[in-house]
């Protein structure tokens, strides 16, 4: 199997590039024709039923008005019932034939089930579900007084969308309806001081991309990534705290109109305003440049004396002028940037790789799989180890083997990373024993393979995010002061599922996408003080991928990499100071497909994984 991976690492990239060059011209022609067709056959929503969360203000309020102008019946949900009633009155004046208001807190699963039931009981159907409700928090990661309090962002922004979607699916299947998921540009363009908001929105985007592959043509999904929009969320001291004084804000009315137009056309994605797409291009082609720019702005805590309001002319000019200007700038900076990157790569592979002999490495999820093999790799290099996991008996075996391989000192700490108090305890114990911390490896995780609509109890899925996401967050929060002292490194084990979204893994993929986004934000906040290596492994042989999991996930035909090879690549990458590692490297080719032709990747995934949902249901 290792030989297969080596061959694929060499052969697959040129084959893929050749196929893309042959395929892309005809694909773009087809996409252009499809775009024209969608404009001509845009859906008429008069008389249809639209449910909007977070409808009491901001984007949600103006989405209600936009749907009302088109004659849709509305179910408006939010916590502030008095404000909702005012929105409902105006929506009726604008042309909605029937409007109901439902006071609810979408972070509570029982509230979400209740308001879906109320809406369907009143109207008898559901055609569009607009998941818009969200909150924002702006603060440096280290300045959070109680790290567990930050869970409210994930509970509202992510779980609120998950719960509502879960209960709406049967009704949307009947009507061949559509889900409109309001994410944010912050979900793929990580911003300092907004790490948890970015992570929650990355999770939302990943979740709906996975559902799009699961549902196929049965339920349409439009994922919206707005930039800065004038609303309650962006009023007050938001602009100065987020250091976005010079970023033009899109008007809420224009944003809402663009969203409803996009949903009615059946678009898969909408970026509004369109000029913000350029930030994605910059991130893909030269992420270090974007990180440097954002870190510089984060350190230079100055605010502009005025804020550029995005008047219609400003917005139109930026949509027209910014793309060609950005392309010209990229063409000028890319050649020297790529040369510097190549030289940096050579430097990392040679004499500048870090020697970890005698250094202290804390590894979570070290009782088996990748975590166990990472412990052995560090042990061979003479590092001192703090091994963390729930299974103490299994940890003892790993610790004993690590000592034999050359680690001068190994301690074991039994802990559950999903509990904030356990995370504080294992960091404190490691510091008490060793007096320092040099590398933190956030590896602990659990799998989850289940179609969303087949989950018997949706709230049971919280444990996936609690372990995979919050387990890394808590450990990092308590370790940061010690890593600053040692100029240390954080190695975070995400997954290819956080980038490429496989049906049956919507919650797992979302938890891993949230990890990537959070640590991209932290990398900007920390600058050169703490190095961060984000690892996205493909399918690796371990307890997580053994048994019936591969058949449930329908990934039996995908080559599986040995845990030893993966762990060696991870430790080598961390010692070189790499920002990212994709292992095996051929998996990175999928990113080209997602970037250039996401519809093709989505169709392939739907065909491969969801063509026989009964099998998945039976396996579950």
- The residue behind tokens 């090879």 is 565
Q: What is the dihedral of CA 57, 61, 63, 65, to 10 degrees?
A: -160
Buried b (16+ CB within 10 A) or exposed e, 242-275: bbbeebbbbbbebbbbbbbebbbbbbebbbbbbb
Q: Is 587 within 8 Å of 13 (Cβ atoms)?
A: no
- Give catalytic status of residue 197 as yes or no: yes
Question: Exposed, middle or buried by CB within 10 Å (0-12, 13-18, 19+), for 179?
Answer: buried
Radius of gyration of the chain measured on its C-alpha atoms: 24
Q: What is the pTM of this model?
A: 0.86
- Whether the CB-CB separation of 590 and 496 falls below 8 Å is answered with yes
d(CA 424, CA 447): 24
Q: Is 503 exposed, middle or buried (0-12, 13-18, 19+ CB in 10 A)?
A: buried
Instruction: Please say whether the beta carbons of 49 and 119 come within 8 A.
Output: yes
Instruction: Say what the pLDDT of residue 336 is.
Output: 75
Mind giving me the DSSP string for 277-316?
HHHHHHHHH-HHHHHHHHHHHHHS----SS--B--HHHHH
Cis status of the peptide bond prior to 41, with omega within 30 of 0: no
Helices (H), 487-612: 506-526, 549-552, 563-576, 589-596, 598-610
Nearest by Cα to 387 from 419, 361, 406: 361
Element spanning 155, H or E: none
Report pLDDT for 67: 97
DSSP bridge pairs for 223:
181, 269
Q: Which of 205, 199, 120, 128 is nearest to 162 (CA)?
A: 205
What is the rounded distance in angstroms from the CA atom of residue 263 to the CA atom of residue 84?
A: 23
pLDDT in the model for residue 315: 59
Residue 24: other Cβ atoms inside 10 A: 13
C-alpha torsion sign, points 280, 284, 290, 291: positive
Structure tokens at 31: 């996409």
Mean pLDDT by 10 residues, the chain (620 residues): 67 78 83 82 93 94 96 95 95 96 94 96 97 89 88 94 96 96 89 91 95 91 90 59 62 93 94 79 72 63 44 61 69 70 59 87 95 97 96 94 96 96 97 97 91 85 94 96 96 91 88 96 92 92 64 62 92 94 84 78 72 42
* CA atoms of 206 and 507, how far apart (whole Å): 9
Structure letter (DSSP) for residue 228: S
Give the per-residue pLDDT at 615: 41
Domains of the chain: 42-338 (3.40.50.720), 353-619 (3.40.50.720)
Mode of pairing for the β-strands spanning 128-131 and 49-53: parallel
Which listed residue (67, 197, 378, 474) is catalytic? 197
**DSSP string covering 17-52:** HHHHHHHHHHHHHHHHHHHHHHHHTPPP-TT-EEEE
Pair type for strands 580-583 and 531-537: parallel
The structure tokens listed for 468 are 């995979």
Specify whether the backbone of 95 is left (phi greater than 0), alpha (psi in -120 to 50) or beta. left
Tokens 């137009």, residue?
A: 261
Distances (CA, A) of 534 to 35, 103, 491, 520: 36, 41, 6, 8
CA–CA separation, 213 vs 503, rounded Å? Answer: 6
Residue 237: Cβ within 10 Å count: 8
CA 476 to chain centre: 18
Answer for the pair 426, 363: CB distance below 8 angstroms, yes or no.
Answer: no
Contact 333, 286 (CB under 8 A): yes
**If residue 489 lies in a helix (H) or strand (E), which one and from where to where?**
strand 489-493
- The H helix count followed by the E strand count for the chain is 23, 14
pLDDT in the model for residue 318: 63
The terminus-to-terminus CA distance of the chain in angstroms comes to 28
């Amino acid at each position: 199997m290792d030989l297969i991976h080596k061959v694929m690492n060499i052969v697959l990239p040129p084959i893929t590039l050749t196929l893309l060059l042959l395929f892309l011209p005809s694909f773009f022609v087809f996409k252009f024709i499809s775009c024209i067709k969608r404009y001509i056959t845009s859906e008429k929503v008069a008389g249809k039923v639209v449910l909007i969360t977070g409808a009491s203000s901001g984007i949600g309020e103006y989405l209600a008005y936009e749907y009302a102008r088109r004659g849709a019946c509305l179910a408006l949900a939010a916590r502030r019932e008095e404000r909702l009633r005012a929105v409902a009155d105006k929506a009726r004046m604008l042309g909605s034939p029937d409007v109901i208001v439902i006071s609810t807190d979408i972070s509570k699963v029982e509230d979400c089930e209740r308001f879906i039931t109320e809406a369907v009981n009143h109207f008898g159907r559901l055609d569009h579900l607009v998941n818009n409700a969200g909150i924002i928090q702006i603060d440096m990661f280290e300045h959070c007084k109680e790290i567990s309090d930050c869970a409210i962002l994930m509970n509202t922004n992510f779980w609120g969308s998950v719960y509502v979607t879960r209960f709406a699916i049967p009704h949307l299947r009947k009507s061949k309806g559509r889900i409109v998921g309001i994410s944010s540009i912050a979900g793929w363009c990580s911003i300092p001081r907004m790490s948890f908001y970015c992570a929650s929105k990355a999770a939302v985007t990943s979740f709906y991309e996975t559902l799009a592959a699961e549902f196929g043509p049965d339920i349409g999904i439009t994922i919206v990534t707005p930039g800065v929009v004038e609303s309650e969320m962006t009023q007050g001291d938001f602009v100065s705290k987020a250091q976005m004084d010079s970023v033009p804000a899109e008007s809420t009315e224009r944003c809402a109109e663009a969203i409803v137009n996009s949903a009615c056309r059946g678009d898969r994605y909408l970026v509004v305003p369109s000029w913000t797409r350029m930030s994605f291009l910059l991130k893909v082609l030269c992420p270090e440049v974007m990180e440097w720019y954002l870190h510089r702005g984060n350190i230079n805590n100055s605010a502009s004396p005025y804020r550029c309001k995005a008047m219609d002319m400003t917005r139109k000019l930026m949509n027209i002028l910014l793309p060609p200007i950005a392309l010209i700038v990229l063409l000028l900076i890319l050649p020297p940037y790529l040369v510097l990157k190549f030289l940096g790569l050579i430097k990392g592979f040679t004499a500048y790789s870090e020697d970890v002999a005698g250094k202290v490495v804390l590894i979570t999820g070290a009782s088996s799989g990748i975590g166990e093999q990472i412990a052995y790799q560090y042990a061979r290099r003479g590092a001192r180890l703090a091994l963390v996991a729930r299974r103490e008996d299994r940890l003892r075996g790993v610790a004993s083997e690590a000592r034999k391989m050359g680690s001068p000192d190994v301690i074991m700490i039994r802990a559950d990373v999903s509990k904030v108090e356990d995370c504080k305890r294992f960091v404190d114990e490691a510091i008490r024993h060793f007096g320092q911390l040099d590398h933190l490896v956030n590896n602990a995780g659990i799998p989850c393979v289940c179609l969303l609509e087949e989950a018997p109890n949706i709230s049971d899925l919280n444990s996936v995010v609690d372990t995979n996401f919050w387990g890394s967050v808590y450990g990092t929060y308590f370790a940061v002061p010690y890593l600053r002292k040692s100029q240390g490194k954080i190695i975070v084990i995400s997954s290819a599922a956080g980038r490429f979204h496989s049906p049956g893994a919507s919650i797992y993929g979302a938890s891993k996408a949230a990890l990537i986004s959070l640590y991209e934000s932290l990398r900007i906040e920390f600058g050169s003080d703490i190095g961060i290596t984000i690892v996205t492994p493909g399918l690796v042989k371990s307890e997580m991928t053994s048994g019936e999991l591969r058949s449930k996930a329908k990934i039996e035909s995908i080559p599986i990499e040995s845990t030893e090879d993966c762990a060696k690549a991870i430790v080598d990458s961390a010692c070189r100071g790499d920002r990212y590692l994709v292992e095996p490297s051929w998996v990175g080719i999928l990113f080209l497909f997602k970037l250039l032709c996401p519809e093709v990747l989505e169709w392939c995934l739907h065909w491969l994984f969801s063509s026989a949902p009964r099998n998945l249901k039976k396996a579950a």
